């Protein structure tokens, strides 16, 4: 699949919010379903785009396939990144576009941005244990598990962490 990566456009905020929310809901990643408090953050593409960089994957015809939030040090969207690390958040690809390279292209674009940014030593991310397809992308691109950084945003809910070091 031919995929282009670019910053999300204002007119795409709602659609990318829906793609992201549907990906999490349809994959059973939200403990409380549509009532989960995280849904608000998944849909908040406009806010994320104002406070971080939201990248969109599009096909040659301009169809929105998915997106990711690329976070730099000091951003309010940082979960685990240190002062010399970029962070990936909310990677999601529409069900129809899965398996065709959009997710990997989004991660690669973030890695390229981070490598080009002076002072950054790597990229980190948090992921759920059940996100096997994403884990394979991370491993293929050189990310390694950092279990010492795993964390729990809610009691009984542990996120796994990965890091790519430059």
**CATH no. for residue 148?**
3.40.630.30
User: Which two tokens mark 62?
Assistant: 């301009």
pLDDT confidence of residue 78: 97
Q: Which domain holds residue 18?
A: 4-165
- Please tell me the predicted confidence (pLDDT) of residue 24: 95
87: nearest Cα among 146, 152, 15: 146
Contact 128, 56 (CB under 8 A): no
What would the pLDDT profile of 112-163 be if each residue is shown by its tens digit? 999 999 999 999 999 999 999 999 999 999 999 999 999 999 888 899 999 9
Q: Residue 1: which pLDDT band, with cuts at 50, 70 and 90?
A: low
- How far is it, in rounded angstroms, from Cα 128 to Cα 163? 15
What's the pLDDT at 98?
92
Other CB atoms within a 10 A radius of the CB of residue 64 amount to: 19
User: Which string of DSSP letters, residue by residue, matches 145-164?
Assistant: E-GGG-EEEETTEEEEEEEE
pLDDT tens-digit map of 65-121:
999 999 999 999 999 999 999 999 999 999 999 988 999 999 999 999 999 999 999
Strand partners, 154: 157
pLDDT in tens, 12-50: 999 999 999 999 999 988 877 898 889 999 999 999 999
| Burial letters 126-140, b for 16+ CB under 10 A, else e | bbbeebeebbebbee
Q: Tell me whether residue 82 is exposed, middle or buried, using C-beta atoms within 10 angstroms of its C-beta: 0 to 12, 13 to 18, 19 or more.
A: middle
Give me the number of domains the chain comprises.
1
102-115 vs 132-140: helix axis angle to the nearest 10? Answer: 40
């Amino acid at each position: 699949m031919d995929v282009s990566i670019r910053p999300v456009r204002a007119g795409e905020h709602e659609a990318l919010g829906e793609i992201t929310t549907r990906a999490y809901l349809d994959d059973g990643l939200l403990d409380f379903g549509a009532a989960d408090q995280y849904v608000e953050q998944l849909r908040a593409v406009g806010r994320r785009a104002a406070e971080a960089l939201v990248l969109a994957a599009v096909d040659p015809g301009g169809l929105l396939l998915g997106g990711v939030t690329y976070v730099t040090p000091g951003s309010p969207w940082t979960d685990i990144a240190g002062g010399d690390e970029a962070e990936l958040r909310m990677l999601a690809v529409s069900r129809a576009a899965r398996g065709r390279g959009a997710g990997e292209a989004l991660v690669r674009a973030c890695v390229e941005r981070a490598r080009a940014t002076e002072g950054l030593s790597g990229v980190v991310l948090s992921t759920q244990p059940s996100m096997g397809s994403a884990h394979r992308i991370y491993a293929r691109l050189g990310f390694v598990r950092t279990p010492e950084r795993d964390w729990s945003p809610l009691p009984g809910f542990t996120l796994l962490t990965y890091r790519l070091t430059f």
